[in-house]
Amino acid sequence: MLRRCGLLVALLIFITLLVFSNCLSFSFVWDDEHFILRNAYLTHPKFLPALLTHNIVAGAGGISNLYRPLESLTHFFDVQAWGYHPWGHHLTTVLIHAAMLVVLFLWLRRVAPTPAAFVATLLYGLHPMQTELVAYIPGRCDTLGLLFMLLAALAFRRRLWLSLLCAALAMASKENFVLTPLFILLTDRAQPQPAPWRRHIGLWLLSAGYVLLRLTLLNFANTLNFYGAENLLTQHPEYRLLTYFTTLPAGFRLWLWPADLHHERAWALYTSLLIPKVWTGALFLLAWFGLAAWLWRRSRMAAVGLLWFIAATLPTSNLIIIINALFYDHWFVVPGLGLAIAVSQLPLFRGRWQRHALIGGIALAAGLGWMTHRTTEVWRNGVTLNSHILRFEPDNPKIMNNLAMALEGKGKTSDAIQLYQRAIRASDEYPQTHHNLARAYETQGRLDDAIVEYHRALTLDPRFYYSAIALGRIRLSQGQIAAATTKFQEAIAAYPYAADAYLGLAQIRLNAGDRAGAITELRRGLAVVDDPRLRHQLSALQSAK
């Protein structure tokens, strides 16, 4: 039995690596720039205390509601091991996914026959819904959370201390896994002999402590409300509930028919129960609970799977925490674990139909794996990803900006400028778009136009240090020393790890013949960020006669 289990685990790992092998040739995309490439906290062990106690993009000068220290720690180890070679970061993400599926299989074997556990794991792990979590490097936060939540469930009966540790690591992976105690409670009550209620107390206290920390010491940008101003969503809880009803059938449909997966999805705010999409969603939810109640007496673990599918959507439902989005495809990956549990409980995997169910399930998993392998290609680079999304969301200014950046990176500056301008016409609220347009203007030698756009970016966000550095660089080239100095200092005030600003200040000192002052500026920069350009310049100045 152990030998067969070992073979299945090895086969599961091999299939997972095969399906997602193309990810190793992908580039950095989407938010990799802020999570990894510009994150100063990943560059040196001295930043580990800040990395583990600040929001996930603080190292790139950002302010976010997201606190995911375990994910940040994996990015730190990736940078130390692989540098900024994307294949190494993708390899880590794929291996984490494979590890999660192994643990899922081992856990499902406790509640289902081995063939059913194997098929359910394959169907879940190779489904196209997993594409974003594996092909997109920061998508690993969900996979890490699932890995440690399942480990917590595995350890719960025998080693409570280990279960508590794994539950804490799950919460440190992503905020959603504050529900880990609920998952363990539901699955434990479905067992023939559930554990005493008191055994669950520690897990719930852990979850309560996590919530308390997020609302106090770790409340970086209003944890319960991602918006900085009042709007229809924040002012009307009933609208949030009605909109939530519409998301559930859509999320379930993506598991049944994942033909239109795309990362950024427009979704309306619904304001009346009379809208067909709303009342059909409400009926869907009622029918879902009705089916779970009917299954409770017949297959309790299958009922738990259905209940988990709904419960796991609550952190992203906008009912508790108001998120600046209404629907993302990947929000339904963790709830989809409940569907895998339900599949593992199908009667087909018992009795004389077991072999046929196993063959059919593996064949279906093979088809899903082939589809997933093709779907991951969307994430190959910025052009493929944003071109794909723009097919579905042609009016999204964020996607226009992202695609323009990717085109500019390939030397298509004129095409990029047109897209930047189109994005600004669609929504003039993002400093990034103006900054990127200014950079493109600079490439074409249109310096005056570039300056206007850099100033516009800083008007939208005075802390947008990228534009401050760019303006400082331009003013320095024009001989406007005072203006250049001011801009570089503004950049450092907004983001102390801005190495380019220290380089600019050092150049100003050097141009004035103040070699000692230039060395001082470089050392000041190196005191906060270990940037190789600062080290190289300092070494050059110190060795110069």
- At what angle are helices 86-111 and 114-125 packed, to 10 degrees? 150
Query: Is residue 466 within 8 Å of 489, Cβ to Cβ?
Result: no
DSSP-derived 3-state class of residue 225: strand
Give residue 1's pLDDT.
62
d(CA 456, CA 533): 29
What is the reported pTM? Answer: 0.91
Give residue 201's pLDDT.
97
Give residue 228's pLDDT.
72
505-523 pLDDT per residue, tens: 999 999 999 999 999 999 9
* Domains of the chain (ranges, CATH numbers): 229-345 (no CATH), 395-461 (1.25.40.10), 464-545 (1.25.40.10)
In degrees, rounded to 5, the angle at the alpha carbon of residue 426 between the alpha carbons of residues 422 and 430 is: 90
Burial label for 196, CB within 10 Å (0-12, 13-18, 19+), is: exposed
401-417 pLDDT per residue, tens: 999 999 999 999 999 99
The DSSP bridge partners found for residue 225 are 322
Side chain identity at residue 102, one-letter code = V
Q: Which of these, 391, 341, 355, lies nearest to 104 by C-alpha position?
A: 341
- At what angle are helices 397-409 and 413-426 packed, to 10 degrees? 170
Q: Which parts of the chain register pLDDT below 70?
A: 1-2, 544-545
- At what angle are helices 431-443 and 397-409 packed, to 10 degrees? 30
Measured in whole angstroms, the distance separating CA 28 from the mean position of its chain's CA atoms is 13
Query: Is residue 128 within 8 Å of 135, Cβ to Cβ?
Result: no
Which ranges constitute the DSSP H helices of 216-275? 232-235, 237-256
d(CA 7, CA 27): 33
